[in-house]
Structures are given as C-alpha cells and as structure tokens.
C-alpha cells in the first residue's frame, strides 16, 4: 500500500471529526483523541526516516484532504448529532451537513492542526499534546 493511500485514510478520519466538531459546535474526548492520533499517524507515515524529509509536501497533503472530503462528509453525516441510543444514523444528510460546515475552513484547520502538532512534537512531545488540546478544544 502506498503512503499516500494510507495518509488518505487517516485524512478522512481527521476530516470526519473536524466536520462533526464544527457542525455540532462541540467536541468530545473521543473525537479529540482521534484527531490527535490521526495527525500523529499522518506525520509518522509522511516522515522520511533516512533523509529527514517528507514524502508529501503541504500542498500535496491538502490535495489528499480535498479528495477525501466528500467521503468524510458522508461518514460524518452518519455520526453527527447521534445522541439517542436508538438512533442508528445522524440526523442530517451529507448535503445538509455540508451547508453547516465551511469546507475551506475545515481544510485550513486540519492543516493548521497537523502543522502545529508536527512542529511541536519534534521540539517537545509532551508539551505538543497539551498545546494540541488548547488548539482543538479551545477552538483557536
């Protein structure tokens, strides 16, 4: 499996949770941990071990996120606003959820989150986790 396909899979998961956060105007510990894990995995997979570079540059990462956005939107529609135990799917269809969420803002936020965590993780892994929660939960 190529690195871009794996990164695409994690990118869709990242977008799902960012879309749900924006649409529901809230977050959960589970979503926050999932966002942190997906960003960590994307950074780990994208990092070249021997040459200390990256396989994909930021523009290519954004392109992958854009390609996966519709898939993420459909999956987020199934998961968003599900609070009752008897409800098996979300309250809104993908098109309705799309109207609630600014696609460009979601891309920007995912890129900011990934970049911030990557930069800080290199400097201080433990501090980067604390800063991640300040960014995502605090809604910078």
Q: What is the pLDDT of residues 3-35, one digit of tens each?
A: 889 999 998 998 899 888 888 888 888 888 898
Residue 109, helix vs strand vs coil: helix
What is the 3-state secondary structure of 3-24? HHHHHHHHHHHHHHHHHHHHHH
Token pair for 81: 């606003």
- The CA-CA-CA angle for residues 104, 77, 96, to 5°, reads 65
The separation between the first and the last C-alpha atoms of the chain, rounded to the nearest angstrom, is 35
Q: What is the pLDDT of residues 52-105, one digit of tens each?
A: 788 888 778 878 888 888 899 888 888 877 654 445 556 677 778 778 777 777
Which of 16, 30, 35 has its CA nearest to residue 75? 16
pTM attached to this predicted model: 0.67
Q: How many residues does the chain have?
A: 140
């Amino acid at each position: 499996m190529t690195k871009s396909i794996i990164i695409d899979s994690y990118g869709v998961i990242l977008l799902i949770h960012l879309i749900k956060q924006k649409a529901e105007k809230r977050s959960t510990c589970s979503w926050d941990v999932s966002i942190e894990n997906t960003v960590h995995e994307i950074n780990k997979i994208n990092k070249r071990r021997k040459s200390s570079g990256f396989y994909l540059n930021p523009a290519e990462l954004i392109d992958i996120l854009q390609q996966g956005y519709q898939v993420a939107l459909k999956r987020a529609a199934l998961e968003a606003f599900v609070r009752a135990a008897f409800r098996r799917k979300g309250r809104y269809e993908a098109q309705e959820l799309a109207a609630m969420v600014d696609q460009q803002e979601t891309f920007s936020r995912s890129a900011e989150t990934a970049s911030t965590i990557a930069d800080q993780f290199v400097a201080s892994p433990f501090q980067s986790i604390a800063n991640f929660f300040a960014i995502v939960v605090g809604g910078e």
